[in-house]
Chains A and B, each alone.
Chain A
Amino acid sequence: MMGLRLFGGGRAARAAPIAQVASAPVARERLQILLAHERGLRGQHDLLELLRAEILAVVSRHVSFDPEKLQIKMERGHLVSMLEIDIEVPNTSEGRSAAVA
């Protein structure tokens, strides 16, 4: 049984390309890059939530709009980071008067 296993293993090793055999280093590198990114986002999560809540409050005081139409994105770059705030507001004057009233 042991002899068979040794034989099978040898055959598999010969047939498989090298890149396929040592896939663990690829896994390791992918994880390191991904987790560095995700750990960076984790602290920001709360920041974005806070920004969203406060922007909603400020804008809603003057214009009424659907809160789901408020998009906030933070993109981290090497030199600068970009905070993108996108708010879609209704085109009618109804929104404004309703909010003011």
Chain B
Amino acid sequence: MAKVLVVTSGKGGVGKTTTTAALGATLAQMGEKVVVVDFDVGLRNLDLILGAERRVVFDFINVVQGIANLSQALIRDKRLENLWLLPASQTRDKDALTDEGVGKIIGELREKFDWIICDSPAGIERGAMLAMRYADEAIVVTNPEVSSVRDSDRIIGMLDSKTVRAEKGEQVAKHLLITRFDPARAARGEMLSIEDVLDILATPLMGIIPESQDVLRASNVGSPVTLNDAASAPARAYIDAARRLKGETIPMTVPEPRKGLMDRLLGRRAA
């Protein structure tokens, strides 16, 4: 049965789009049929992170307005045959997305895909509301930093009250994904620890993505971090998170970066 997953956070710049691309690509590699949907009308970026920016012809709003049909707007990934993108519109008309229109398209996507991953815009306005509206599950992306934790708390409140599931008296399954985590700084008491964040937000942990230059490197070349370098620390963390999403039980770890040539040489000398 199809699952609608929203990737949300409240705060901007915490890694929603990176997460959407990485989880989408990993689930597709596992054989699931996945569509990633960009809800950020006017500021679309998922196309860029996936390296599909030059292939966008029609978008979400064109489909809502009946200018194009769904199959015309869906873009198939060049690397993964199971991964598709439904891009957002760059037009500035925020009101073009309606609850009805979104509901209809999500319904159609449910018939074609195993996973519908909705990349939410930042904020708590219309776009963010519509991205979570039809979700069965939610990933709340949080940085171990006060403003991000506060905004996540707000979003968790909205997931529990403003979604179709909540209105029917059902639950949206919520998962916390802590990104840009620096274990060394947390150990020195300079950064909120995983336990602090879990304690405050009281939401089950789905994964811990370490702070890493690999994320920027992947976005520079338009490739999900899991495809660009599957052995990198953030990629391994995302792959674990994707497996947990599928219901596997994986021990929670913070993957460490592989040691560089210099470190290895020095390490060997020291040993």
| A21 surroundings in chain B (CB, below 8 A) | 188-190
Question: Chain A, 23-44, contact with B by CB distance < 8 Å: what is the 0/1 string?
Answer: 1110110111011001100100
On whether the beta carbons of A24 and B263 are closer than 8 Å, the reply is no
Shortest beta-carbon distance from A77 to chain B in Å: 23
CA distance A39 to B193 in the complex (A): 22
Q: How many A-B residue pairs have CB under 8 A?
A: 49
Listed stretches B41-49, B76-84, B150-158; interface member: B150-158
Shortest beta-carbon distance from A6 to chain B in Å: 11
Residues of B contacting A: mostly: helix
Residue A2 CB within 8 A of the other chain: yes
Residues 128-179 of B at the A interface (beta carbon under 8 Å): 145-146, 149-150, 153-154, 157
User: With A2-B267, A21-B188, A24-B186 in contact, is A35–B153 under 8 Å at CB?
Assistant: yes
On whether the beta carbons of A24 and B157 are closer than 8 Å, the reply is no
Shortest beta-carbon distance from A86 to chain B in Å: 27
Residue A3 CB within 8 A of the other chain: yes
Residues of A contacting B: mostly: helix
- Which residue, B145, B189, B263, B267, has most C-beta atoms of chain A within 10 A? B189
Residue A80 CB within 8 A of the other chain: no
Of the candidates B188, B192, B199, which one forms a contact with A27 in the assembled complex, judged by CB atoms under 8 Å apart? B192
Chain B residues engaging chain A, CB cutoff 8 angstroms: 145-146, 149-150, 153-154, 157, 186, 188-193, 196, 199-200, 260, 262-263, 266-267, 270
Chain A residues engaging chain B, CB cutoff 8 angstroms: 1-3, 21-25, 27-28, 30-32, 34-35, 38-39, 42
